[in-house]
Amino acid sequence: MSQTSRNLLIWCIVFVSIFTGVSFLTDQNEKKSVNAVTYSQFIESINTGSIASIVVQGPNISGKTKQGKDFSTYVPFHNPSMLQDMVSRGIDVVVKPMESEFSFWAMIIPWIPLLVLVGLVVYSMRQMHASGNKAIGFGRSSAQVIEGKTVTTKFEDVAGVDEAKQELCEVVDFLKNAQKFQKLGGKIPKGILLVGQPGTGKTLLAKAIAGEAGVPFFSIAGSDFVEVFVGVGASRVRDLFGQAKKNSPSIIFIDEIDAVGRRRGSGYGGGNDEREQTLNQMLVEMDGFDASNTVIVIAATNRADVLDNALLRPGRFDRRVVVPLPDLLGREKILDVHMAKVPIDTDVKKNVIARGTPGFSGADLANLVNEAALFAARHGKATVSMKDFEYAKDKVLMGSERRSMVIRDEQKKLTAFHEAGHAVVSLYTQGSDPIHKATIIPRGDALGMVVSLPEDDHTSLTYETLISQIMMAMGGKVAEEMIFGKNQVTTGASSDIKAATHLARRMVTEWGMSERLGFQYCDFINSSYGIKDISDSTSRVVDEEVAALLTSCFEKTKALLVKHQDALYALANALLMRETLSGDEVRLVCEGHELPPLTDFADEARAKPADDATKAGKDGRGGESSEVKRRGRPKKDATTFDAEPL
């Protein structure tokens, strides 16, 4: 219940209590306000014959006069002859049994206002006490504590990181049987740093350790330590480690430790006092473990380069476990884990999906399976087929289709040649990755795109591969200039220019691929102190080398497209007809072969679903359908635009 609702309820109770008490007192006053007469007046009224009726209830007598007035009196003794005399005088006499003198509500109701007042005082005191406890507990740790027996995650639930699991199995053995290592003088690492890209399963590995060992698991984020007030973070660190020691053997897991473990004295202004005090306290706690306290600290980060050196030294985080992106076999195992939760069709081939998803993390693959299941559910399928996985992969790689977007024919033609330029350069350049798909259907922020997927996992990139990637990025802009002229070049190549420039600069400054600079690393801004790390003359040489590399690649790209201009035109026309082409279809078109006919025009991945009239190109009234008007009627062959001399 919110604080506002609680306060409203309290005031409602107060109002009802006061109303009840006032009503009760009013009733009592009304009873007392009935015309009370003395005993002598009552006898006199009987003698004069002015009483019409009475009600006798023990010693209490009430009644009405003949004038209609109410009265009451009290008779101290019973006098049966008096009642007989009243009956003989024609007075209507009613006799009722005497009520019990004890009335629960008569006793309780008068005390209700006082009880409510006491309750309000007690509630206010408790609120003040709670506020005091909150202030005292401001420096306590907010870690989530999970009992070891309740952790259901095991190593079998973590796939694709076999080497990392092997290193962590030793930690589990130590938590289960510490004497086995201690009797030989061995000491388990006090801190284990999990390093890897986002989504690779670092947090899942930490939970699996707790699940396998069956020990308490204290989970907290690095940002939970840092507060505005200096000293609060250090207090929380002391409290967290104190709780872990009381429950040892146990595991402390700190996610995104770079939020608190960043190198001291770095950044503008010399650092942050609160964060540095928190880090100092963490260093003290990790280095002050007793041998009897089997508490292991596991931390995760994807920015190990910014961590303080004192945090990484032996005795603190003395074991560093790299959690890499999964390879081909790892991706298959991850798919096995996630596919076990959804009904899979018999045509699904995990090895094909794994081969087509290089660079995907475990989280990416989980998202892929989920998107495929959602797509199958939207179409009322009972199982998830290979076609659903293909759709999900395209959505993850390229974004959702925006078929409702209205595009002019001129813009559509320009987009087709732009994407055809990318595809032709990729197809005829040595070292480039195979094309997965080319499309001119808007997806995400792009009006079209060409996606390439490597045949295997790249461990390193060669000079030839890097040059092919730069040339492919330039292919779209070069094709626009060649076909439409420089005056009609669009802004669609902005991301391509950024990618090509970034690659060229890294080749020159980081990878030693410049003859003028040779074997040296040229970092413009030192990440530790935020200052320029190279001279102005070297910076000028870097700019000249980057510009020369980009100019050379641009000329090579232009020469390549001039040589293969027939393939460029054929591919652009095929994209205008089909809108989406697979890698094999791109290769067929560029080699001069005809495309096989579409077997299903309503295929979700190739065209928008339409009714029979729309499929026939009619709107039901004999005219062009709105879909055909928007997208243009396809031509009969792939020679819609004739090739011109370039």
Residue with tokens 């006898």: 43
Long-range Cβ pairs for the range 607-614 (8 Å, 24+): 607/579, 608/403
- Which residue type, as a one-letter code, is found at position 396? V
- Which residue type, as a one-letter code, is found at position 466? L
Count Cβ atoms below 10 Å from residue 642 Cβ, excluding itself.
7
- In the chain, DSSP finds a helix count (H) and a strand count (E) of 23, 13
The sheet carrying 51-57 orders its strands as 70-74, 60-65, 51-57, 92-95
The answer to whether the CB of 523 falls within 8 A of the CB of 509 is yes
- First-to-final CA distance of the chain: 74
**Angle at CA 530, nearest 5°, toward 524 and 533?**
35
CA 346 from centroid of its chain's CA atoms: 33
Element (H, E) at 449: strand 449-452
Q: How far apart are CA 438 and CA 374, in angstroms?
A: 24
β-strand 144-146 against 217-221: which pairing, if any?
antiparallel
Q: How far apart are CA 217 and CA 225, in angstroms?
A: 17
Cα–Cα distances in angstroms (integers) from residue 171 to residues 83, 192, 257, 288, 537, in the given order: 101, 9, 20, 19, 52
Classify 90 in phi/psi space as left (phi over 0), alpha (psi -120 to 50) or beta.
left
Q: How far apart are CA 475 and CA 646, in angstroms?
A: 15
CB-facing half-sphere around the CA of 469: CA atoms within 13 A: 18
Q: How far apart are CA 453 and CA 435, in angstroms?
A: 6
Q: Which two tokens stand for residue 451?
A: 């996606």
555: annotated active-site residue: no
- Which residue type, as a one-letter code, is found at position 114? L
- Which residue type, as a one-letter code, is found at position 12? C
Q: How far apart are CA 556 and CA 562, in angstroms?
A: 10
Catalytic, out of 419, 545, 579, 585 = 419
Cα–Cα distances in angstroms (integers) from residue 84 to residues 61, 271, 475, in the given order: 15, 106, 125
CA-wise closest residue to 62 among 105, 84, 33: 33
DSSP state letters, 156-175: GG--S-HHHHHHHHHHHHHH
Catalytic annotation, residues: 419
